[in-house]
């Protein structure tokens, strides 16, 4: 006669194999999350120079859109030259020269994965990953029997983690 499987057994098995399956994506999210902490700095970024010709005589308001630079602000204008942070635009010829700083290719792709929204097909992966992480949270409580000291200690650590999270969120 086959032995009846308990909910705890199913939770442990799914937790184990889902953990193995998601090991790669968890590593990507961990690394890109660390890199994203420094997104407002030049940490790991490489400088790239751009020279291109765009439409002539663009007003300052349309220049950022033409160069695909968000929140571009012209800092000064001298004759037919417009200057902005890290670049310039010559209105008579349409020549624009500017410098950008970007992460290396692989790190840039990793951070885009983490920042995906509903405009990106990758958002389904983010939803699946988020649901999987929630499953890990819940299934962790089925790893040990509730009567063991390991389970009780685990509850203390859980309460400590919740308290630290609330402290960091609201202080």
Residues 28 and 50 grouped into a single domain:
no
pTM above 0.85, yes or no: no
Q: What is the pLDDT of residues 109-120, one digit of tens each?
A: 999 999 999 999
Domain count, the chain: 2
Residues 127 and 92 grouped into a single domain:
no
Residues 136 and 98 grouped into a single domain:
no
Q: What is the pLDDT of residues 41-84, one digit of tens each?
A: 999 999 999 999 999 999 988 999 999 999 999 999 999 999 99
CB atoms within 10 A of CB 96: 21
Residues 60 and 30 grouped into a single domain:
no
The reply to whether 1 falls in a domain is no
Range of the domain at 155: 7-39+105-170
Residues 109 and 32 grouped into a single domain:
yes
Integer distance in angstroms from the first to the last C-alpha of the chain? 57
From the list 146, 131, 128, 139, the residue with the least C-alpha distance to 10 is 139
CB atoms within 10 A of CB 139: 20
Q: What is the pLDDT of residues 87-130, one digit of tens each?
A: 999 999 999 999 999 999 999 999 999 999 999 988 999 999 99
Can you tell me the distance from the alpha carbon of 40 to that of 30, in angstroms, rounded to the nearest whole number? Answer: 18
Residue where one domain finishes, among candidates 102, 128, 149: 102
pLDDT at 2: 67
Can you tell me the distance from the alpha carbon of 113 to that of 107, in angstroms, rounded to the nearest whole number? Answer: 10
Residue where one domain finishes, among candidates 86, 102, 118: 102
From the list 17, 31, 26, the residue with the least C-alpha distance to 126 is 26
């Amino acid at each position: 006669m086959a032995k009846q499987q308990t909910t705890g057994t199913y939770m442990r098995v799914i937790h184990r194999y889902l953990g193995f399956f998601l090991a790669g994506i968890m590593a990507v999210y961990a690394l890109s999350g660390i890199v994203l902490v420094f997104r407002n700095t030049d940490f790991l970024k490489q400088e790239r120079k751009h020279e291109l010709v765009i439409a002539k005589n663009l007003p300052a308001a349309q220049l950022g859109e033409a160069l695909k630079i968000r929140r571009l602000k012209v800092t000064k204008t001298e004759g037919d030259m417009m200057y902005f942070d890290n670049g310039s635009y010559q209105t008579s010829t349409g020549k624009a020269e500017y410098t950008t700083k970007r992460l290396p290719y692989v790190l840039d792709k990793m951070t885009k994965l983490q920042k995906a929204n509903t405009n990106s097909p990758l958002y389904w992966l983010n939803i699946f990953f988020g649901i999987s992480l929630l499953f890990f949270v819940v299934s962790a409580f089925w790893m040990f029997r509730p009567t063991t000291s390991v389970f009780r200690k685990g509850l203390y650590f859980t309460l400590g983690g919740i308290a630290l999270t609330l402290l960091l969120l609201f202080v």
